[in-house]
Chain A
């Protein structure tokens, strides 16, 4: 079955440390991949997206992600985390249901930043 998985439910990093959030997908073709961030009680903000082309994608707020077809992964990275990055991060993929396409979200990773 087509799906997207975020293995880490909760991650804690120190401010200034590097960050990598994992995302794996199960899909036959090249998927459309997204990373969103959600602050408490807020909607979702798009960080970056991958449709095709260069597999290293740059996003907003200093985030980047790399699409690795061989590993079916689209991990999100940031070289130096700021306290304001504490939030919930969702990986999402467009999946086809046969008659339509829909955006399916992973379970999310909650990022805590310690000072």
Chain B
């Protein structure tokens, strides 16, 4: 149980275009989902926290207008990178917190999406 999927696993887009990444909790309801960014050989940096039905909370330094997050249902959150540039190339990982879990603060991670902007 507690499986999180991401789609696509890899995406290549041209500079100036937008790309959408989906994060789904497959067997549980997630009231809270998180988006992380990971540069090569570095740790995960939290970008934003999204709660179902409300606006996402972005971490300091993350551009809200560039990284649009939507959490429209209890099983789906999307991250849209708008007007992508090569510096947005990175590994994006989502995670979700199980609404019904008795374990506080535990997050289940997706497999990640490799974004390359050419």
Give how many A residues have a beta carbon under 8 Å from the other chain's beta carbons: 23
In the complex, what's the smallest C-beta–C-beta distance from B105 to chain A, in angstroms? 4
A36, A103, A105: which has the most chain B beta carbons within 10 Å? Answer: A103
Complex CA gap A23/B103 in Å reads: 22
Nearest opposing residue in chain A for B91, CB measure: A41
Q: Number of contacts between A and B (CB, 8 Å)? A: 52
User: In the complex, are the beta carbons of B106 and A49 less than 8 A apart?
Assistant: yes
Complex CA gap A101/B46 in Å reads: 12
Complex CA gap A105/B59 in Å reads: 15
User: In the complex, are the beta carbons of A44 and B43 less than 8 A apart?
Assistant: no
Asked if B93 CB lies within 8 Å of chain A CBs, one says yes
Interchain CB contact (< 8 A) of B42 among A51, A103, A104, A107: A107
Q: How large is the interface on B (under 10, 10 to 19, 20 to 34, 35 or more residues)?
A: 20 to 34
In the complex, what's the smallest C-beta–C-beta distance from B2 to chain A, in angstroms? 9
Complex CA gap A106/B107 in Å reads: 16
Complex CA gap A101/B57 in Å reads: 12
Other than the given A41-B91, A45-B109, A108-B43, 6 more pairs (CB < 8 A) read A34-B106, A43-B6, A44-B93, A46-B108, A102-B49, A103-B46
Which residues of B are in contact with A by a Cβ distance under 8 Å?
A: 4, 6, 34, 41-44, 46, 49, 57, 91, 93, 95, 103-112, 114
Which residues of A are in contact with B by a Cβ distance under 8 Å?
A: 32, 34, 36, 41-46, 49, 51, 90, 94, 100-108, 110
